[in-house]
Amino acid sequence: MDIVERFLNYTKINTTTSRENGAAGIMPSNPAELELAKLIKSELENMGVTDISLSEKSILIAKIPANTDKKVPSVAFFAHLDTSAEQKNDTKAKVVKYEGGDICLNKELEIYLKQSEFSELKNYIGDDIIVTDGTSLLGADDKAAIASIMNAAQYFMQNPQIKHGEIVICFVPDEEQGLRGAKALDVSLLGADFGYCLDCCGIGEFIYENWNAGDAVINFKGQSAHPMNAKGKLVNSLLLAHKFISLLPNGEAPEYTDGKEGYFWVKELSGNSAKTILKLDIREFDEKKYKERMAFLQNLADGLNKIWDNRIEITLTNRYKNVFNYLKDGENSLPIIVAKEAFKNLGITPVILPMRGGYDGSIISEKGVACPNLFTGAHNFHSIYEYLPVKSLRASSEVIKQIITLVSNK
């Protein structure tokens, strides 16, 4: 099956993540994620893959055994089954020949993918591009990854003369709401030495640094009193929360930072004069600086409690870690070296970016399988303007093939 046909088939199954079901602890949050996983399982079986497991939570693990006598690392490739909740409509994907200018996605609704807004379109003049009809996401995040991995699997199953180590394939549900599938994954079932997620954007993008991410929930306890005799009695928890916020460092917020600059994000404030809850996100690339940020919040709360008679309760939790923390040799780690060499062999210029966010590899790496992030080739994730150049999709799968071949020769 051609990779484009494979991808288009996957987009026909609507796997929009359900935040409601996710909040209720249901996995997969959308039953269609299991439907897609079952389709993938049958495709792997038709290829001749025999070592496949699929859990009721829609975690699929398949292994293509090594066909070489050499002892080479086992490499895993990961993607997620769900698509983001921004749009819930069924995907009506189509392939268009891009000749430049704007692309009409939906004439009736006057929806256009405009070159003036998405200047990178100029890079794909003369190429085939997969788009939607403008009423849904395309779902290349992350079905392009699934198609890319499955295309590579088909290649090695059809060409047993090409020597390789063990290839592990893993698809998980509900990445789009807190990396839930990766958190539920038992990595001991993989047996992989390292792996790669495919969950980033344009051709050449390669990510092996992301946030160390934490959460703070801070409860402020006030003292109610009627305003007619409130003097000396009323303690307004809303004002306590505002005072706390005012003591955060100036300029260290998402709207003032980029690159590897960390921040505190005042994300939610709710309550009344008696009780107020403040929620913060803490983000930092450097692990030491991340710990310092968490300690700053704890020390701030402790100091104010001495003044305010213990009216603050603070809970600090880690959400996910920077993948780079788990690459033992840093820039010289085998997963990084091999990926860069694969790019070079294919004439692809690496675009190495720090991810100001997290992905499944953040959790999988912390569990013991270091997992950088490779491109799928798509653009405009989480948007009706999401699109996927066909050449980029094919290049994504070629990178996987190169990595597997290179690892077998190390």
Q: Just list the catalytic residues.
A: 82, 175
Amino acid, single-letter form, for residue 202? G
| Contact of 105 with 131, CB cutoff 8 Å | yes
CA distance 134 to 119: 18
How many other C-beta atoms can be found within 10 angstroms of the C-beta atom of residue 159?
A: 10
Is 199 annotated for ligand binding?
yes
CA distance 133 to 106: 5
| Contact of 52 with 60, CB cutoff 8 Å | yes
Q: Residue 271 region, left (φ>0) first, then alpha (ψ -120 to 50), else beta? A: left
Is 379 annotated for ligand binding?
no
Give DSSP secondary structure letters for 27-93: SSSSHHHHHHHHHHHHHHHHHT--EEEE-TT--EEEEE----SS----EEEEEES-B-TT--SPP--
Distances in whole angstroms, Cα of residue 280 to Cα of each of 216, 262, 315 = 5, 13, 10
Measured in degrees and rounded to the nearest 5, phi and psi for residue 183 equal -65, -30
Q: If you count DSSP H runs as helices and E runs as strands, how many of each does the chain have, helices first?
A: 10, 17
Residue written as token pair 């700053």: 296
| End-to-end C-alpha distance for the chain, whole angstroms | 31
Is 80 annotated for ligand binding?
yes
CA distance 16 to 28: 11
Give DSSP secondary structure letters for 96-144: EE--SS-EEEETTTTEEE-TTT-GGGGGGTTSEEEE--SSS---HHHHH
Q: Residue 335 region, left (φ>0) first, then alpha (ψ -120 to 50), else beta? A: alpha
Is 382 annotated for ligand binding?
yes
Is 309 annotated for ligand binding?
no
Sign, CA torsion 242/246/248/254: positive
Which residues are annotated binding-site positions for Zn(2+)? 80, 141, 176, 199, 382
Which residues are annotated binding-site positions? 80, 141, 176, 199, 382
